[in-house]
Structure 1
Amino acid sequence: MHQGIPSMSDTNSAHLQIFEVPVGGMDCAECSKHVQTALESIPGVCSTTVYLAAEKAVISADPSQVDKDRIRAAIQSAGYTVPDTIVPADRSSTEDLSKRVKIAYGLIVAVVLAIAIFGEWMGVIDRLNGMVHPLLGAVIVALAGWPVLRKVFHALSQKTIIAQTVMSLGVFGALIIGEWITALIIVFFMRVGDAIESYTTNRARSSLKNLTTMIPRTACVMKEGVEAIVPIEDVHVGDIVLIRPGETVPVDGVVRSGQAAVDQSSVTGESLPVDVYQGSHVYAATIVRQGSVQVRTTRVGEDTTFGHVVRMVEEAEANRSEIQTFADKFSGYFLPLVLLAAALTYIFSRDPLSTVAVLVVSCSCAIALATPIAMLASVGAAAKHGLLIKGGKYIEAL
């Protein structure tokens, strides 16, 4: 897939070009919104789509006003990076890590909940609140929650509100009334929620990136009758590629000589191998089960049929479902309603702790983040099992 910065191709619209730029540092749905806002603020940009799982942005812009340096500067100003390359995920290490993370999260949450419940029941929390100076407690809370609180402050500096903003207000409210342990517990669950979101995003991202590993990174090219193993980037249209039994086809092409049974399930979904012979078309990411063939290359890399399939799956986020659109709109109105509910709670009850409870319980994370993350996780899980889905609206249609 795309490895450099940035790739450009002409579009059907006059005087417009497509800039495809990898973006690093995005670990949640809110991050992609920040990047999109930053890019859309560049004069000359007509449209922008940011793909969280694929870690890239696709910008349609006027090349006389926009270049790669301006795009890079805009992304960096939003607090993200523009890497030179995107390294494919290691499948085995990702699966091992996912098992360890599940166990660790379960144990940590259980322990913290047990401490909080028994501590409240035995009066330990009240004693700790009295023993520790409020300023020291605030410092402890700030250090524990800094990774999440930093996102909130950065969003505020960009004049935007994110899902964690409401819970952050709850944290500050708890600190104001001297309940620093309550604030610390809130911060803990903010960190857990943020980590789970990042973990889910990375799982989906890893599943999509693993698709690219289905195409071999090298090919056996016949040059003047001599076999040479070369990187796939050095294979060009017209080159003759030799594929032996058990090898994966690295390019799209036409069989020049030989005969083989090819497993094309990764491209066509056919369960049985297909016999190919001189004049037959073969596709990258398919596997030669029996026989060997020499193939004249017609398409390489992103231009192959499988490359187009992977691109469609990577860009599935753009095909948003109706429920995602509704969740985005509703979450935009949710914060003012929560603040109003908290204000009314304080006016009628005069209880600061109840006011903080309203802010925490009414967190919009479940609305603003759960829907897109669920769709992203579904696409990623399907890709891991060989099912390629073009977007959330297709999942919803099922």
Structure 2
Amino acid sequence: MTLIKTKYRNLNFAVLLLVLLYITEGYFKVVLYSTGETPGLLQISKGILLLGLGLYLVLNQPRSLAFIGLLSVSFFIGQLALSRSVSKDALIAFAKLLYPILLLLFFNSYHLSKNHKDKLFLVFEFIMLCNALVVFCGLLFDIKIFNTYLGSRFGFNGLFVSSATSSYVYALTLIYLLAKYKEDVFKNIPNLIIIGSMFCVGTKVSYLFLGCFLTVYFFKYTKINRKLIASSIIGLSVFAVYVFFFKFGIFNEIRQKDGLLSSLMSYRDELFLERTLPYIKEHWSTLNYMFGGVSDLTTKSQIEFIDVFYFFGLVGGGLYYYLFFKAFLGFKMEIHSAVLLSLLFIIVLLAGNFFSYPSIAIYLVILREYLKRNEQNQYT
């Protein structure tokens, strides 16, 4: 183990992982949007990385995997309570949910040097700037490959495959930029390009978090009267809701057809009532309420808070959230970063697909490493 650490200590695994995931995801999206085919490169690379992370932790930090073992037991109990076998789809979904925890645990063990962190932050900002430029190219020249959605709905997210990935990555990026540049965040041209491109993503999560970001910035770094800021934000929010949900666009059409809640939740309320609950009533036993169990993933509600408990049950779901936050937190952060992270996780729990998209995990690592550096700088 010592030889392994010595041999690879000069490799910047974080940068390699970030670049690999971004390139493979971009390749996947280009092929998908161009041909309709789904190349296996992205899944294969993530599978290899997952195995590598697990092997490293087994060799170097076996104790950190104890709770992962308990979570695995919980998962298999829930699945076997449904049937005598575990479905392939459920097993893949379980692996995806483990990915962010394993990656966070890996970088808790594999400490990055100051030089490695500097390069990681530099490459991260460069990738986000490049993606922002790709977004604007897609917008200006109507390049369908860079669309957020297949179809006619507005949105451009560059080389990120899914709308959820782009929304959460941009949200994490905003927290990072504000933590690093503070009151000067809007004085940096690359930052303006990145932040500006987020207006083009076209998801409710991205716009909602942009509002949170701007609110925190104005409260923290401007001398504008706070009552004026609050009243302006409330007024703009009411106006935006009126325009997008009662006057124009796809959300207004959904509201007219299926109601305001379905429009706000993007039909997640209907998925929960029409698919998730009936599946629970028909298939679950007492064990499933404790340990979850899903064989048909189309019955997920797409509401993250519910889906984690749906997948793992009350016992397993509680353990999953404990493992994630224990792996991610463990350091102090500035109040505005804590507020933005809290708001993001509230949004995540009401939206979906945060934990089940492995690509998001590396951006979580980047943000955590920068916030940890901030904490260390305060005490040195």
> Normalized against structure 2, the TM-score is what?
0.26
Identify which of structures 1 and 2 has the higher relative contact order when contacts are C-alpha pairs closer than 8 Å and 6+ apart. Answer: 2
More helix by share: 2
Structure number with greater Rg is: 1
> Normalized against structure 1, the TM-score is what?
0.25
